[in-house]
């Protein structure tokens, strides 16, 4: 498997430090608000990576943390009249609700910052003892950036360039403007913990270093997160961890690209910010997950309703094909005919290409392309009168269904019952278009009654009325089937 390593700026063959075992740490949310689309992308990317590593047979230790104390959490708690703990716990619950809908599997270990204060105090003291950190008279503790020779190696930033324009804010007791906080002295009314330097709380960067080292021996095989974390968060993690331990923090650094709105990074300050719940109010969770995998994880991803609608068309097509294949396998009587060898060879090639795409830096966009190729192959067989009733067709369809189920252990989007999913998708599309499904059902019932009474003029008139509402009706052996135009 090839993975792009941000540290080396190239794809490298991934081999774990310990054969057969992989350790992966991914930075989780700061629990002060609902999760946004950027959180969804990062979480889906590393869920897919975890699933694929397990598919390859690795024993995976997957750690994803929660930041449950932070300036943003304290500010939100003050606004709501709650404690920081209450705010964090509430938003962690919201996180799980959103991620469960997106079919995200839970990591092995989900540490919280506030549950690992002793480890952070130990790490901070180690850095002070080694001359990499210093305490100030007011009780803050800072990391001496210039004491670590490798600072900037992940983000490729020059320390002198960073120093240019940097300044020490009034009231700060830093030795150097680049130094960052390991421990923050408590302010009145803030949550705090006892430390050798007085009451305080940990800095954001400190927690990931302390928690990753607690649960696995360094170096981590993979450390991941969003591209925006590369600097300063991950750069600071490297500095404090490697200065304290003398060990490499992580062998592979994996970062997913930004979500963009009209080619601009999504952010609250630009007013182009969408929570996961905003999206799932209008689209199914499977559609969102499918959309997030439709581009390579390192590429920027342009988010819009139009892009989600295109993803919706794609996932609808796959589910419809799965339903059609299952129905055909139940009903058909099979002749003894086999398919031409080139047909089965075509499917075998697709199976190899799907795996090769995933081995090539987790290329889910290409892997989804091969899903559609398999669906097209199934459709070609179904359209051929000579082939579709053959045992060869039966075996090919079953093999395609098995492939889709196997691939979906990694992709996580095609696991629903097709009829149930497509009905929900239809209702979701209807809601977006303002179609009253209850009113539609009334007209469908009236039309069914008209057909029973052989009042075909009335039946046709009702079909036209439904079309005017944006609804298409088809008469099938199983009865009336409707969809959104």
Question: Domains of the chain (ranges plus CATH)?
Answer: 2-279 (3.40.50.620), 305-419 (1.20.120.640), 433-484 (no CATH)
- Cis preceding linkage at 393, omega within 30: no
The predicted structure's pLDDT at residue 268: 67
Residue 297's closest CA among 43, 30, 25? 43
In 240-272, which positions are buried (b, 16+ CB within 10 angstroms) versus exposed (e)?
bbbbbeeeebbbbbbbbbbbbbeeebbeeeeee
The 10 Å Cβ neighbour count of residue 69 is 26
Q: What percent of the chain is modeled with pLDDT above 70?
A: 98
Summarize pLDDT for 304-355 with one digit per residue, the tens: 999 999 999 999 999 999 999 999 999 878 999 999 999 999 999 999 999 9
Average pLDDT of the chain is: 94
As given in the structure block, the two tokens for residue 403 are 């492939």
pLDDT at 269: 64
| Alpha-helical segments (H) within 70-172 | 71-80, 84-101, 117-129, 159-163
Q: How far apart are CA 403 and CA 344, in angstroms?
A: 13
For residue 478, pLDDT beyond 80 = no
Query: pTM score, two decimals?
Result: 0.94
């Amino acid at each position: 498997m090839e993975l792009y390593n941000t540290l080396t700026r190239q794809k490298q063959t991934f081999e774990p430090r310990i054969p057969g075992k992989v350790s992966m740490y991914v930075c989780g949310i700061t629990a002060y608000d609902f999760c946004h689309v950027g959180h969804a992308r990062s979480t889906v990317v590393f869920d897919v990576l975890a699933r694929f590593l397990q598919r390859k047979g690795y024993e995976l230790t997957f750690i994803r943390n929660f930041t449950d104390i932070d300036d943003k959490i304290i500010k939100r708690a003050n606004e709501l009249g709650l404690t920081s703990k209450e705010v964090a716990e509430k938003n962690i619950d919201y996180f799980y609700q959103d991620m469960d809908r997106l079919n995200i599997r839970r990591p092995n270990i989900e540490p919280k910052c506030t549950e690992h204060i002793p480890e952070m105090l130990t790490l901070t003291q180690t850095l002070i003892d080694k001359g990499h950190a210093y305490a100030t008279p007011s009780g803050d503790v800072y990391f001496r950036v210039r004491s670590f020779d490798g600072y900037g190696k992940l983000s490729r930033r020059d320390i002198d360039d960073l120093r240019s324009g940097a300044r020490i804010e009034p009231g700060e007791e830093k030795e150097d403007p680049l130094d960052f906080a390991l421990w923050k002295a408590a302010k009145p009314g803030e949550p705090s913990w006892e430390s050798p330097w007085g009451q305080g709380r940990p800095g954001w960067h400190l927690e990931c270093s302390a928690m990753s080292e607690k649960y696995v021996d360094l170096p981590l095989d993979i450390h991941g997160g969003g591209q925006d974390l590369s600097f300063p968060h991950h750069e600071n993690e490297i500095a404090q961890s490697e200065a304290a331990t003398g060990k490499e923090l992580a062998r592979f650094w994996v970062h997913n690209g930004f979500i963009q709105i009209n080619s601009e990074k999504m952010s609250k300050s630009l007013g182009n910010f969408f929570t996961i719940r905003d999206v799932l109010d209008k689209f199914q969770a499977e559609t969102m997950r499918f959309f997030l995998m439709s581009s390579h994880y390192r590429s920027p991803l342009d988010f819009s309703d139009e892009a989600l609608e295109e993803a919706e068309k794609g996932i609808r097509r796959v589910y419809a094909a799965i339903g059609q294949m299952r129905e055909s396998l139940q009903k058909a009587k099979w002749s003894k005919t086999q398919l031409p060898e080139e047909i089965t060879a075509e499917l075998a090639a697709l199976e190899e290409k799907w795996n090769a795409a995933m081995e090539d830096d987790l290329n889910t966009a290409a892997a989804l392309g091969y899903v559609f190729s398999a669906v097209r192959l199934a459709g070609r067989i179904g359209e051929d009168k000579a082939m579709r009733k053959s045992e060869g067709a039966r075996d090919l369809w079953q093999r395609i269904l098995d492939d889709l189920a196997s691939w979906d252990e990694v992709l996580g989007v095609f696991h629903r019952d097709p009829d149930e999913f497509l009905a929900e998708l239809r209702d979701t599309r209807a809601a977006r278009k303002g179609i009253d499904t209850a009113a539609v059902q009334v007209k469908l019932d009236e039309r069914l009654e008209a057909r029973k009474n052989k009042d075909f003029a009335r039946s046709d008139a009702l079909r036209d009325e439904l079309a005017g509402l944006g609804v298409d009706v088809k008469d099938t052996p199983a009865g009336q089937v409707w969809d959104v135009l």
